[in-house]
Amino acid sequence: MRSKDRIAYFYDGDVGSVYFGAKHPMKPHRLCMTHHLVLSYDLHKKMEIYRPHKAYPVELAQFHSADYVEFLNRITPDTQHLFLNELTKYNLGEDCPVFDNLFEFCQIYAGGTIDAARRLNNQLCDIAINWAGGLHHAKKCEASGFCYINDLVLGILELLKYHARVLYIDIDVHHGDGVEEAFYFTDRVMTVSFHKYGDSFFPGTGDAKEIGEREGKFYAINVPLKDGIDDSSFTRLFKTIISKVVETYQPGAIVLQCGADSLAGDRLGCFNLSIDGHAECVSFVKRFNLPLLVTGGGGYTKENVARCWTVETGVLLDTELPNEIPQNDYIKYFAPEFSLKVPNGPIENLNSKSYLSTIKMQVLENLRCIQHAPSVQMQEVPPDFYIPEFDEDEQNPDERIDQHTQDKHIQRDDEYYDGDNDNDQMNIS
């Protein structure tokens, strides 16, 4: 057992200032609310806080097609009418609108997940958190489901440089289709998604029969659920499946997508999990004591998203939080009760015991088809991506200074490593 987990937490306030549109359910403002709640509970004093680098186009193109990345970089609300064919080709529109600072938004949230993976790879932390990440629907050549760049795939690709096997776990109410698709033909990543399936629920994939193909056969696990699943049903199934997955697959690192749209009362969700039930999954995964990268994901009742991810930050820090929310810049959003925990609702659980038992047996049977953890002939570890150098004197000294001064920066002297490729030691105080 490790004496004390070292936690790295990635945040850039600019990620919460973008606006998808008045009627769009995705509100990145929830990230500012989460961060200020984390600060109000003094959790930042127990972690190292980093501003992520903005991922370069060459980094994003490690998964995405270069033409798609270039288009995201070029398109603006003012010019989109000139590119109607490309908008259709890349699936940009109602669900995935073009808005001001779209590409910078993608660079920041993807940079956070890439940086998190690199710190884990270099053993500079045990757990890395990027609540801005977790955009699991984005595909190689197109946007999907409010997601433009798939930061999770990019983070997993980083982890694969140092780990023979990476386990991806997804507790968003929607199927983690983009991540599953990216690794569907390999045994080096096992994807496990717990999600609502059926009734034409987005994205329409994630049947238990989807198990991977070729070398990846049996390395994609889907747990399709019906409306109203509650804490006891969900956590029992989660613990049974994940414990068997870890025992069988023996991953070197875990990526956990904590989409909060699986909570009761979510604007787009249909599950009935309390924050405690959701957080119990995080706590369970933490107990494996493996390098752990934790991201956000969906979540469309933003005050509950902030509550959930703050509680889960506490869980990762082994810190129990008082239920009364402390004073913070967003306190009015938590009225009238100003409490941290949100109970589940009165929704009927349509997941019968026999249905859940059938799903569980199907998953465990597929796991038995894996004789043992696959062996990987490890090559020399490739270097981190080449990052172009820039002259700090040429940078605008006024650029984003307000956010820099607002951010808090905690560092411990023993957390850094020597070398030219230490991009992590960034003074943002």
Q: Which CATH architecture has domain 5-367?
A: 3-Layer(aba) Sandwich (3.40)
Q: How far apart are CA 43 and CA 410, in angstroms?
A: 11
Task: Please give the Cα distance from 37 to 309 (Å, whole number).
Answer: 9
311-348 pLDDT, tens digit each: 999 999 999 999 999 999 999 999 999 999 988 888 99
Q: Among residues 64, 6, 70, which one has the least CA distance to residue 424? A: 6
pLDDT at 296 over 90: yes
In whole angstroms, what is the distance from residue 195 CA to residue 184 CA? 18
Percent of the chain's residues with pLDDT above 70: 86
Domain ranges of the chain: 5-367
Report pLDDT digits (tens) over 10-36: 999 999 999 999 999 999 999 999 999
Q: How far apart are CA 285 and CA 116, in angstroms?
A: 17
Buried b (16+ CB within 10 A) or exposed e, 321-355: beeebeebebeebbeeeeebebebeeeebebeeee
Q: Is 296 annotated as a binding residue?
A: no
Is 137 labeled as catalytic in the residue annotation?
Answer: yes
Tell me which of 376 and 363 has the higher pLDDT: 363
Whole-number pLDDT of residue 392: 41
> Which residue in 44, 53, 136, 137 is the catalytic one?
137
Q: Which amino acid is at 130?
A: N
Is 174 known to sit in a ligand binding site? yes
pLDDT band at 389 (very low <50, low <70, confident <90, very high): very low
**Which tens digit of pLDDT belongs to each residue from 241-279?**
999 999 999 999 999 999 999 999 999 999 999 999 999
Q: Confirm whether residue 329 is marked as ligand binding.
A: no
Average pLDDT, the chain: 90
**pLDDT of 409 strictly over 50:** no
According to the model, what pLDDT value does residue 1 have?
46
Residue 208, pLDDT > 90, answer: yes
Is the bond preceding 388 in cis, omega lying within 30 degrees of 0?
A: no
Q: Taking the model in full, what pTM does it have?
A: 0.89
pLDDT digit string (tens) for 395-404? 444 444 444 4
**418 in a known ligand binding site:** no
